[in-house]
C-alpha cells in the first residue's frame, strides 16, 4: 500500500464517503479512513447516519407507522383487522439488515470508484500527514496533497441524566430496545426526540417529552411549529415545554426523573426507559495533533471558510464537524464541493437552500427562511398557505393534517422560504428547493402545471395563494 495520496479523507459518513468517491471520480488517488466497528468488531463505513442515525431510525419509523396504521387507521378505508401484533426483535432485525446492506454498499462503491478503504483511526499531523492506526493497533504515517476531515458528531451527554445504556440511553440505545417500554421519557423535543418518541408511542409506549426551551421547534417557522405541536399532541405525545430536568435516579429497571416545570414547581416522573436527546456535538477527539494548524471555534467546531477550507493549507473539513446544521445531505454536498475544488473546479454551495426534515407522521419540512427571520430582516413579504384538508389526494389517502406555507418577497416575488407539515412533506419541499435554486418567483410556481390528483397540488395552491389566486380554498386577501 502506497503511503502517498492525492486526498486522504478521515471519516466515512455521508460527508466523508461522498467526498472520497467524488475525488476518485475526478482522477485523484484517494484513501478513506473510518473508525466505526459493528457489534462483531468488524470495520464498517457509513458513520452515524447509516449505522445509528438517519437510516435505522427511518426503518423503525416506517415499521412502527405500518403497525399503527394496521391497528388504528385502516378501518376508515373499510378494512377490518384484528389481533394485530408487533414483534419488536423482528423489527430491530429488519432495521439491522437494512443497515448492513447499505454500509456494505459503500464498500462496493469505493471499489467501483477506486477508493482505498481503511478501517481504524486517523490523526492529522503537521504538513498534511495523517497518522493511521488500524484496529489492531498498528500505526503508519500517510501523506497527501489534501486532507479532508469528516469525523462527524456524537450525542451530547448531560450530568443530570448519565447514560448507562440500560435504563437511560441516548439516540443509539433507543434504536435497540427489545420490547416496548410501558412508560418512556424523552429529554429533548428536537428532531431526534420527536422521531424516537413517535416510534415507541406508535408501538404502545406512554411517552412524555421534556423540553427546556419555551418555544416548540424554535428554529422552525412558528406557524408550522404550532400546527405540528397540535398534531403530535393529538397523536398522544405528551410534550411538556419549559421543563428543565434537574436529576435522575435509577432503581432496578426504572428511572425517576426530577424536573422544574414551566411554573417553577418541582415535579417527578418515573419511566421504564429514558432517552436523552439534547443535541449533538462535533467529534474531534484524537483527530488533531497540537501542531496540525487546524483551529476550533468557541463551540468546538473546526473553523472553516465559506468553501470548507480550514486554517491549515490543503486541509478541509466537512459535515457535522463544521458550522451549520447537522444534516447528512448538507455534509454530502460539502464533500462534493471540496473534492471538486481540490480538482481545480470553482464549485460553491448554496447554504440558503438546504432542506430540513423531521420524519414524524406527518412529516415536517422546511427550506429557506422562516417568517420570523424575514420579518427580523425587515424585508416586505407575502404569504400563501394551503391546507391538506382541501386536497383531494390527501382526502383519498386519509392524510389531511397540516398545510403548505410559501413566503415570497413582496416586491420581487422571489420565493424566500417554504414550510410544510403534512403527508410527504420531505418530498414536496424539495420541489420548492429546486425552484428557489433557480431564483423562481411564487408566480413562476403558480404558472406551472401540476399533475392531478397529487399532493404536489398543495404546493401549487400555496404559491397561487401568495397573490390571493388560490382556486381550491378561500383566499384571505384577493388580488387582481
Phi-psi category of residue 445: left, alpha or beta, with phi > 0 → left and psi -120 to 50 → alpha = alpha
Res 479 pLDDT > 80:
no
- The answer to whether residues 357 and 437 touch, using CB atoms and an 8 Å cutoff, is no
Ordered by start, the domain boundaries in the chain are: 4-155+281-349, 172-278, 353-465
Are the folds of 172-278 and 353-465 the same?
no
For 241, residues 6+ apart whose C-beta sits below 8 A from its C-beta are 189, 211, 213, 214, 215, 216, 262
* Residue among 307, 360, 289, 462 at smallest CA distance from 65: 360
- The answer to whether residues 441 and 408 touch, using CB atoms and an 8 Å cutoff, is yes
For 423, residues 6+ apart whose C-beta sits below 8 A from its C-beta are 362, 363, 388, 394, 397, 399, 402, 455
Helix-, strand-, coil-residue percentages of the chain, each rounded to 5: 35, 25, 40
- What number is the average pLDDT over the span 463-480? 86
User: pLDDT at position 477, please?
Assistant: 63
Band of pLDDT at residue 3, cut at 50, 70 and 90: confident
- How many Cα neighbours within 13 Å face the side chain of 78? 1
SS3 209: strand
* Residue among 207, 359, 192 at smallest CA distance from 273: 207
- What number is the average pLDDT over the span 159-168? 97
User: pLDDT at position 476, please?
Assistant: 82
- What number is the average pLDDT over the span 446-475? 97
Whether 419 is a known active-site residue: answer: no
C-alpha cell at 52: 445509528
For residue 246, what are the CA distances in angstroms to 139, 155, 213, 268, 274? 44, 19, 14, 10, 14
Residue of 361, 419, 452, 472 marked active site? 452
Going 298 to 334 to 368 to 364, the CA torsion angle's sign is negative
- The answer to whether residues 347 and 341 touch, using CB atoms and an 8 Å cutoff, is yes
Q: Identify the CATH assignment for 353-465 out of 3.90.1150.10, 3.30.390.30, 3.30.910.20, 1.20.1440.230.
A: 3.30.390.30
* Residue among 156, 358, 396 at smallest CA distance from 276: 156
Kindly report the CATH number that applies to the domain delimited by 172-278: 3.50.50.60
Residues 283-303: pLDDT tens digits? Answer: 999 999 999 999 999 999 999
Residues 223-272: pLDDT tens digits? Answer: 999 999 999 999 999 999 999 999 999 999 999 999 999 999 999 999 99
C-alpha cell at 13: 459518513
Residues 81-133: pLDDT tens digits? Answer: 999 999 999 999 999 999 999 999 999 999 999 999 999 999 999 999 999 99
User: pLDDT at position 480, please?
Assistant: 43
Tally Cβ neighbours within 10 Å of residue 360.
Answer: 22
Question: Which residue in this structure is represented by grid cell 487546524?
Answer: 294
Against a cut of 0.85, is the pTM above it? yes
- The answer to whether residues 245 and 187 touch, using CB atoms and an 8 Å cutoff, is yes
Domain 4-155+281-349 is in which class?
A: alpha beta
Q: What is the mean pLDDT of the chain?
A: 97
Res 445 pLDDT > 90:
yes
SS3 117: strand
Residues 171-198: pLDDT tens digits? Answer: 999 999 999 999 999 999 999 999 999 9
Q: How many angstroms separate the CA atoms of 183 and 109, rounded?
A: 42
Q: What residue ranges in 21-62 does DSSP mark as E strands? A: 30-34
- What number is the average pLDDT over the span 433-446? 98
Tally Cβ neighbours within 10 Å of residue 475.
Answer: 14
Q: How does 119-145 read in b/e, with b if 16+ C-beta sit within 10 Å?
A: bbbbbbbeebbbebbeeeeeeeebebe
- What number is the average pLDDT over the span 430-445? 98
User: pLDDT at position 2, please?
Assistant: 53
Name all contacts of 326-332 with Cβ < 8 Å and 24+ positions apart: 326/153, 326/280, 327/354, 327/356, 328/13, 328/14, 328/15, 328/49, 328/53, 328/54, 329/14, 329/354, 329/355, 330/354, 331/13, 331/14, 331/15, 331/18, 331/150, 332/14, 332/15, 332/18
Q: What is the DSSP string of 58-107?
A: HHHHHHHHHHHIIIIIGGGGT----S----HHHHHHHHHHHHHHHHHHHH
Q: How does 197-235 read in b/e, with b if 16+ C-beta sit within 10 Å?
A: bbbbbbbbbebbbbbeeeebbebbbbbbbebbbebbeeb
Residues 345-392: pLDDT tens digits? Answer: 999 999 999 999 999 999 999 999 999 999 999 999 999 999 999 999
Amino acid at each position: 500500500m502506497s503511503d502517498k495520496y492525492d486526498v486522504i479523507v478521515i471519516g466515512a459518513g455521508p460527508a466523508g464517503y461522498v467526498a472520497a468517491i467524488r475525488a476518485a471520480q475526478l482522477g485523484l488517488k484517494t484513501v478513506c479512513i473510518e473508525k466505526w466497528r459493528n457489534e462483531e468488531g468488524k470495520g464498517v463505513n457509513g458513520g452515524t447516519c447509516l449505522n445509528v442515525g438517519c437510516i435505522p431510525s427511518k426503518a423503525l419509523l416506517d415499521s412502527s407507522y405500518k403497525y399503527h396504521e394496521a391497528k388504528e387507521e385502516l378501518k376508515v378505508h373499510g378494512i377490518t383487522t384484528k389481533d394485530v401484533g408487533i414483534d419488536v426483535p423482528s423489527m430491530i432485525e429488519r432495521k439491522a439488515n437494512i443497515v448492513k446492506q447499505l454500509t456494505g454498499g459503500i464498500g462496493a462503491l469505493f471499489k467501483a470508484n477506486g477508493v482505498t478503504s481503511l478501517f481504524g483511526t486517523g490523526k492529522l499531523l503537521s504538513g498534511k500527514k495523517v497518522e493511521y492506526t488500524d484496529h489492531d493497533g498498528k500505526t503508519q504515517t500517510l501523506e497527501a496533497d489534501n486532507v479532508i476531515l469528516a469525523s462527524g458528531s456524537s450525542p451530547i451527554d448531560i450530568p443530570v441524566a448519565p447514560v448507562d445504556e440500560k435504563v437511560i440511553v441516548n439516540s443509539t440505545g433507543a434504536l435497540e430496545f427489545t420490547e416496548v417500554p410501558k412508560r418512556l421519557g424523552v429529554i429533548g423535543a428536537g428532531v431526534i426526540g420527536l422521531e424516537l418518541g413517535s416510534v415507541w408511542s406508535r408501538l404502545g409506549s406512554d411517552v412524555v417529552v421534556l423540553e427546556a426551551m419555551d418555544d416548540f421547534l424554535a428554529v422552525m417557522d412558528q406557524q408550522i411549529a404550532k400546527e405540528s405541536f397540535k398534531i403530535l399532541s393529538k397523536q398522544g405525545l405528551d410534550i411538556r415545554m419549559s421543563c428543565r430536568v434537574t436529576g435522575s435516579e435509577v432503581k432496578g429497571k426504572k428511572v425517576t426523573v426530577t424536573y422544574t416545570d414551566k411554573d417553577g414547581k418541582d415535579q417527578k416522573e418515573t419511566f421504564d426507559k429514558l432517552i436523552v436527546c439534547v443535541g449533538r456535538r462535533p467529534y474531534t477527539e484524537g483527530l488533531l495533533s497540537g501542531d496540525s494548524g487546524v483551529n476550533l471555534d468557541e463551540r468546538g467546531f473546526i473553523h472553516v471558510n465559506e468553501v470548507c477550507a480550514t486554517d491549515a493549507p490543503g486541509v478541509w473539513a466537512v459535515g457535522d464537524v463544521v458550522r451549520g446544521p447537522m444534516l447528512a445531505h448538507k455534509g454530502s454536498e460539502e464533500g462534493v464541493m471540496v473534492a471538486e475544488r481540490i480538482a481545480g473546479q470553482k464549485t460553491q454551495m448554496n447554504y440558503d437552500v438546504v432542506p430540513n426534515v423531521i420524519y414524524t407522521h406527518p412529516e415536517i419540512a422546511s427550506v429557506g427562511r422562516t417568517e420570523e427571520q424575514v420579518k427580523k430582516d425587515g424585508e416586505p413579504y407575502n404569504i400563501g398557505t394551503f391546507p391538506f384538508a382541501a386536497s383531494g389526494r390527501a382526502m383519498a389517502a386519509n392524510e389531511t393534517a397540516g398545510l403548505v406555507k410559501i413566503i415570497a418577497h413582496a416586491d420581487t416575488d422571489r420565493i424566500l422560504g417554504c414550510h410544510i407539515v403534512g403527508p410527504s412533506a420531505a418530498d414536496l419541499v424539495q420541489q420548492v428547493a429546486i425552484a428557489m435554486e433557480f431564483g423562481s418567483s411564487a408566480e413562476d410556481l403558480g404558472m406551472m402545471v401540476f399533475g392531478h390528483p397529487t399532493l404536489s397540488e398543495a404546493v401549487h395552491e400555496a404559491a397561487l395563494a401568495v397573490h390571493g389566486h388560490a382556486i381550491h380554498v378561500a383566499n384571505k386577501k384577493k388580488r387582481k
